[in-house]
Amino acid sequence: AAVMAGEAVAQVPDVQIDGDGVFKYVLVRVRGAGALAKDVVRGHGWAEYHADLFERTAEELARHGLSCECLGGGRLSHRPEERKIHVYGYSVGFGRADHAVTTEKLKAEYPNYEITWANEGY
């Protein structure tokens, strides 16, 4: 079961964000059976609140037998025509995500982008 949980955790995409615009994001720690865990980034314009992003992510993960916790949130400004993503802000409900962690995840997903972050702004 631990191997299957490990594979399930490994199959969860590290980053799922909208292709353009400014939107909220959450940093979520995904857990399988045993000690396996990884952090993932979810950011979408349809979400009015950070909790909306987290709840949908939790529902999707639960279908695969995985649990998760929200590590915090913020905002993303994604400008594909300039190949730039800026990570900033915080979540009122979940607190500020570790934007440095988020930035590393985004750099792996978008290697040709300039990705910056700041704790300022909302």
**Would you list which residues are annotated within the binding site for substrate?**
24
Determine whether domain 1-118 maps to CATH 3.40.1280.10.
Answer: no
Give residue for tokens 């979400």: 47
Q: Can you count the helices (H) and strands (E) in the chain?
A: 3, 6
Tokens of 119: 């704790």
What is the pLDDT, as a whole number, of residue 7? Answer: 81
Whether the Cβ atoms of residue 47 and residue 76 lie closer than 8 Å to each other? no
Catalytic site includes residue 50: yes
Active-site pick, 44, 50, 78, 86: 50
d(CA 28, CA 42) in angstroms, rounded, equals 8
What is the pLDDT, as a whole number, of residue 3? Answer: 65
> Dihedral angle at the C-alpha atoms of 91, 96, 99, 100, nearest 10 degrees?
-170
**Would you list which residues are annotated within the binding site?**
24
- pLDDT tens figures, 8-47: 898 999 999 999 999 999 999 999 877 689 999 999 999 9
- pLDDT tens figures, 54-88: 999 999 999 999 999 999 999 999 999 999 999 99
Q: What's at 102, amino acid-wise? A: T
